[in-house]
Amino acid sequence: MEKRSFRYYWCLMYINAGFIGEIEVGVFELLVEIRWHSRGGQGGWTASNLAALAASYEGKYVQSFPAFGPERSGAPIMAFTRISDEPVEIHSMVYSPDIVVVLDYTLLSPSILSGLKQGGFIITNYTGSEEQVFSSLGIKKGDYRVVLIPASKLALEVLKSKITNTAMLAGIVKIGVVKIESVEKAISERFSKPVAEKNILLVRRALEEAREV
C-alpha cells in the first residue's frame, strides 16, 4: 500500500502515531481507508466517528466525514474513515477503500465494491448463507475477505432496536484495525452510561459471532 497522508475533516486529532502493522486476518500499513454504507437514520456516520475516535486513543491520526449531500431517512448514504500513522492532507472522499462496511444487508450489490482494493475486506450485516452473500455481491469465495456479522438480530436482542452501527464496529475489531477496549472507550464517551453499557454489550456479542467466510 502506498504511503500517503491527509487532513482530518470532522475534527482534528493530531496525536503521536504508532504503526498499525500485522493484524489478525490481514496487514495494513501506514493508512487504512474505510467506506461505510448505510441508510439515512441508521447511524453510519456515527459508526465512522466512533471508529476514528477509537483509533485516536491508540495514537493514530484520524479522519471521519460523510458523503456530501442531504441525508434522507432510508436513503443510501456513505461515510468515510481514514486511520493513519501520519497527519492528514487528503481532501477527497475514499475512492479506493481497504475496507467496506455495510450496515444494511439490503444494500448488498456489486456497486458497493467500487474501488475496493484487491484482497480488501467486506464487513457486512448478514444472517444468510455465505453463498447468498457472494451471489448478492457478484463475487466468488476468495475474491475478497468477507466478514459476516448478524448485527440486526443482535441489535434487536440487546437494544430492542434495528440500529446496527455499534454492532458493526466489531468487524474492524475482528480484523485488527482497532482494539475492543478502544471501541468501548469511544462508545462510553459518545453515549450516556445506560446507553453505552448496552452498546458495549452489543459490540462484544457481535465480536463473538463475527466470522470470516
Domain positions in the chain: 31-212
Question: How far apart, in whole angstroms, are the C-alpha atoms of residue 41 and residue 31?
Answer: 29
**In this predicted model, which residue has the larger pLDDT, 56 or 3?**
56
- What is the reported pLDDT for 134? 96
For residue 82 the three cell numbers come to 481514514
Sorting pLDDT into bands at 50, 70 and 90, what band is 91? Answer: confident
Write down the mean pLDDT value for the chain.
86
| Tens-place pLDDT, residues 38-73 | 998 889 999 999 999 999 999 999 999 998 665 567
Confidence of residue 22 (pLDDT cuts 50, 70, 90): very low
* 24: Cβ contacts below 8 Å, ≥ 6 apart: 174, 175, 176
* pLDDT of 103 over the 90 cut: yes
pLDDT in tens, 150-189: 999 999 999 999 999 999 999 999 999 999 999 999 999 9
Total-model pTM = 0.84
Lowest mean pLDDT among 22-31, 117-126, 165-174, 199-208: 22-31
Alpha-carbon distance of 71 to 39, in angstroms, equals 9
157 or 13, greater pLDDT: 157
CA angle, 48 then 52 then 53, to 5°? 115
* Residues of the chain above pLDDT 70, percent: 84
Average pLDDT over residues 124-138: 94
Compute the distance between CA of residue 31 and CA of residue 20 in angstroms, rounded to an integer: 8
- Binning the chain into helix, strand and coil, the percentages to the nearest 5 are 35, 20, 45
Residue 70: the pLDDT is 58
CATH superfamily of 31-212: Pyruvate-ferredoxin oxidoreductase, PFOR, domain III (3.40.920.10)
